Amino acid sequence: MGFLDALLGRTKPKKAELDALFALSGAAVTLETAAGLRSAGAAAVCFKPASGQVFADIRTELDELLRLSVEQSGSTFELVEDSYGYDWVVLRDPDVEDLVTTVHLVNATLSDSGFGHQLLASVFAFAGAKGPTFLVYGYKRGAFYPFVPADGEHRDNQSELRLRGILEGEIPIEADLSRWYPIWGVPIP
């Protein structure tokens, strides 16, 4: 940050540490043993589409990379647009390490092409006795947080806090609870 930015109170967002995603493989083992949650075999990357030919070219490149990646790993992917106009790359694979690697590929491709600011979140689905649980990686803060939807558009805050305790030390956890945003309508189970 430059002197003028500091003087005018402008701040730059924290750069996302995309390699933190790889810690999720170990965290998945912890979630299974300590919380009875296992990978649901699905993950998704949410980003805001940009207009212009450069972004269209990046999307084409990303599509080609995903096709090669899923061919090698046996994963599947689809592109979904939600009701808010955000795009999701939805990935399915029973192997959590393949999901993490492919999510990282999507993130790195967009980030390395200058569109990292378009990335919103990566979401990994886990299944348990109470229903779906999600681990959300927020790019703006470079940290994970649990999201446990309950009936309707309610959250199971107690379960989310319990998962925070289980995962601390395994993956970077968002410390500010007010930034644990619910992501309703995630296009994965």
Question: How many residues does the structure list for the chain?
Answer: 189
Q: What pLDDT, on the 0 to 100 scale, is given for residue 10?
A: 52
Torsion of CA 123, 142, 171, 49, to 10 degrees: 20
The 3-state DSSP class for residue 130 equals coil
Q: How far is CA 65 from CA 7, 16, 105, in A?
A: 43, 22, 8
pLDDT band of residue 27 (cuts 50, 70, 90) is very high
Domains for the chain: give ranges and CATH numbers. 23-179 (3.30.70.600)
Residue 173 has pLDDT above 60, yes or no: yes
pLDDT computed for residue 18 by the predictor? 67
Tens of pLDDT, residue by residue over 74-131, are: 889 999 989 888 999 999 999 999 999 999 989 998 888 888 888 999 999 999 888 8
Label residue 40 by pLDDT band (50, 70, 90): very high
The C-alpha atoms of residue 110 and residue 167 are separated, in whole angstroms, by: 27
User: CA geometry: angle at 71 spanning 17 and 112, to 5°?
Assistant: 30
More confident residue, 71 or 99: 99
Please give the share of the chain, as a percent, with pLDDT higher than 90.
54
State residue 64 phi and psi, 5-degree precision.
Answer: -65, -45
Closest by Cα among 76, 78, 80 to 41: 76
Between 151 and 4, the higher pLDDT residue: 151
Q: How far is CA 126 from each of CA 23, 41, 101, rounded to the nearest angstrom?
A: 16, 8, 17
The answer to whether the beta carbons of residues 173 and 167 sit under 8 Å apart is yes
The pTM of this model reads 0.86
pLDDT for 181 beyond 80:
yes
